[in-house]
Structure 1
């Protein structure tokens, strides 16, 4: 599996053990502060590399120290970073995530260079040797440009997948609509599906997205697991019971595990089981790159059900 991970790349800073923001200018000791590569393209790239795929990242970062750090962390995971262009006029996209004891994590986020990324930043040889193109954050390109990129990939025989970063609403669905007929696998969360479609149930919402031209919709549902919808119907795939440390990156981890499962010949529902197992590994640590999980570990967990 050789993947071009295109789109949103972010540097996350996690602060573990936050129950409240200190008053005024007061300080507070915390358990851990660490950084990790993230984003609907960057986070998925890291996990795919952990799971044995060859991964090449494409997107935009700044020329700042934040960008230096993000590139170094991606490269340490074996992700090829030559395709990440550096924009002097924008800072690298970054988030600060105070993690509560139950794993919840509100966030401060700066869009930064992700907002400056365009199709012109992609090399002509983007698809050479690629088996899969994963587009994280099609809303930053806009549906027309995203559709051009995905259509070009499918015409070259490359499997396509899309993960949307923005919250779901009807206007956002209209903005990215041109990308949907060129999307083999759409990877939203439950709130996005219901917000995009206005459907009463997740299955109905997924069906509405299939009718927009998507080949398969694999929806994450937090602690409930996932729902996978194809033309043959919808299947629920339960999550694994774990002790949650941090839910940051679980959606990206599910996407990576799901896509890796497909590349290994699994049916979509079985691939979703591998996705849930991968998300479970990530949720037990801080950030998408926490711990030392690999393909064998997530396969073992998936098989334990």
Structure 2
């Protein structure tokens, strides 16, 4: 699998042990503070690399120490960062995530250079050696530009996928609608599907997105697992039980596992199972790059869980 992950790249700062925000100028000791690469392109790139794919990232970062740290973390995971351009007038996108004991994490986020990335920053011909092109955050490009990028990738023989960062809203769906007919796999969460479509059920909402042009819609449902819908098939896969540390990046991890499963020849159910098992590895650690999981470890985890079940 030779994949280009295009779009949103973020440096996350996780703060573990947050019960509340201190009042006034008071301080509070916490358990852990760590960085991790993240974003609908960056986080997915890390997990894909761990699962054995050859990954090259494309997007925008600033010319600042945050970018230096983010690029170093991506490169350490084996991600080719040559496609990430520096934008001196913008800071690198970053988030601070205070993680509660149950794994929930509100966030402070700076869009930064992600908002300045355009097709002018990407030589479309550089995608022509890829077997797959994954676009994370098409809302920053807009549907017309996103559609142009994905259409080019398809014409060059690549499979395409799309992951949306923004909350579900009909106006947002209209903004990116031009990209859907060029999307083989759309990877939203359940709230996005219902918000985009106004459907009464998740299946109906996913079918509406298929009718809008997406070839397949693979929906994450948090602790309920995943739902995969095409014009001819509906598949539901449960989540794996895990002691949750931090849910940051679980959606990106599912996307990576699902796409990697497809590249290995798995059917939709098998790919979704690998996606859920990969998400479980991330939920049990701190950030997408926590621990030392790889494809063999994720497959062993899934096999063990199936045996216990």
Give the match for residue 145 of structure 2. Answer: 145
Question: 1:194 matched to which residue of 2?
Answer: 194
The secondary structure found in structure 1 opposite 2:82 is strand
C-alpha RMSD of the superposition:
0.7
Aligned to 2:103: 103
Aligned mates of 1:81, 1:150 — CA distance in 2: 20
User: C-alpha distance in 1, partners of 2:276/2:73?
Assistant: 24
The SS at the match of 1:6 is strand
Q: Deviations over 1:265-298 (max 9, x none)?
A: 0011110000000000000010000000000011
Take 1:155 and 1:262, find their aligned partners in 2: how far apart are those partners? 19
Q: Alignment partner of 1:33: what SS?
A: strand
1:83/1:123 contact within 8 Å kept:
no
Where does residue 81 of structure 2 map in the other structure? 81
**CA deviation vs aligned residue, 1:6-57 (integer Å, no higher than 9, x gap):** 0000000000010100010000000000000000000000000000000000
Gaps of 5+ in 1: none
Deviation at 1:299, TM superposition (A): 1.1
Long gaps (5+) in structure 2: none
Q: CA deviation at 1:190?
A: 0.2
Structure 1 residues 39-188: aligned runs within 5 Å: 39-188=39-188
Aligned partners of 1:105, 1:56: CA distance in 2, in Å? 29
Q: What secondary structure does 1:260 align onto?
A: helix
Return the alpha-carbon distance in structure 2 between the equivalents of residues 3 and 17 of structure 1: 36
Secondary structure of the 2:243 match is coil
Contact 1:219/1:226 (8 A) holds in 2: yes
Using the size of structure 2 for normalisation, the TM-score is: 0.98
3-state DSSP class of the match of 1:125?
Answer: helix
Alignment of 1:145-294 (within 5 A): 145-294=145-294
- Secondary structure (helix, strand or coil) at the match of 2:27 reads coil
CA distance in structure 2 between the partners assigned to 1:170 and 1:126 by the alignment: 33
Report if aligned partners of 1:143, 1:179 keep a CA contact under 8 Å in 2. Answer: yes
**Equivalent position SS for 1:114:** helix
Alpha-carbon separation, structure 1, partners of 2:182 and 2:278: 26
Q: Provide the rounded CA distance (Å) in 2 between the counterparts of 1:209 and 1:301.
A: 32
Indicate the SS of the match to 1:126. Answer: helix
Matches of 1:37 and 1:248, distance apart in 2: 11
- Matched residue SS, 1:286: coil
Q: Indicate the SS of the match to 2:279.
A: helix
In structure 2, C-alpha distance between the alignment counterparts of 1:184 and 1:301, rounded to whole Å: 28
CA distance in 2: counterparts of 1:74 and 1:164, whole angstroms: 21
Give the Cα–Cα distance (whole angstroms) in 2 for the partners of residues 283 and 169 of structure 1: 27
Matches of 1:269 and 1:8, distance apart in 2? 28
CA–CA distance in 2 between the matches of 1:58 and 1:101? 34
How far 1:233 sits from its partner (Å)? 2.4
